[in-house]
Amino acid sequence: MKKFLIITAVILAVLFIVDKTVLQNEGMVNRVGLTGKYKKMDNVADLPVGLAEGNVAPDFSLVDLNGNPIKLSDYRGKKVLVNFWATWCPPCKAEMPYMQELYEKYHEDGFEILAVNSTVTEKSRDNVVDFVAEYELTFPIPMDEKNRVSSDYEIMAFPTSFFIDSDGVIRSITVGGMTKEHLEGEIKKLP
């Protein structure tokens, strides 16, 4: 039994090292808690489309809770928070009031929130409708009914938030719930 535990521990350690190496090589580890130079960029057309800080955010098209088409590229010229969430997620529930409050505060200054709901993880669409009503959310709620956008954005945890500047460039990524202070700080940093 002792030999089995030692072998298991060694295998897990090797798997952890290999996994971490693969993730670093694919640029995944460095996605979390990124902080960059928050200045306006002149060469946006030369930037690659991708999921790392400094990349142009991949475009997507979804339909919101009210049936309206939502396309990320239509928000160029505005600062955008793309937040991936679900109604059953406790950190999502905790940060939504802050998101609504700061949306109201900064919306007039060109700040938008696209709160992409992972609809495939919900028991029913009514859960989303009820959640939005309970939290009195007024920002768009695109519905990712086939999990395509969440997959394209490599979402591994809820909530995950991408802070995108007015040129469509990802400036910061936060995995996990946000405090009001963190959220507001990231909004203020966007050029």
Read off the tokens for 188.
């203020």
Judgement on whether residues 111 and 179 belong to the same structural domain of the protein: yes
42: domain range? 33-189
Same domain, 144 and 58: yes
* Cis-peptide, bond into residue 159, ω within 30° of zero: yes
The model's pTM: 0.79
Do 94 and 3 sit in the same domain of this protein? Answer: no
| pLDDT by 10s per residue, the chain, length 191 | 656 445 544 454 444 443 433 333 333 333 344 444 445 556 777 789 999 999 999 999 999 999 999 999 999 999 999 999 999 999 999 999 999 999 999 999 999 999 999 999 999 999 999 999 999 999 999 999 999 999 999 999 999 999 999 999 999 999 999 999 999 999 999 99
Alpha carbons 57 and 48: distance in angstroms, whole number: 9
The Cα–Cα gap between 156 and 187 comes to: 23
Distance CA 146, CA 133 (A): 23
Are residues 18 and 101 located together in one domain of the fold? no
93 with 12, same domain: the answer is no
Q: Are residues 40 and 26 in the same domain?
A: no
Q: Are residues 58 and 78 in the same domain?
A: yes
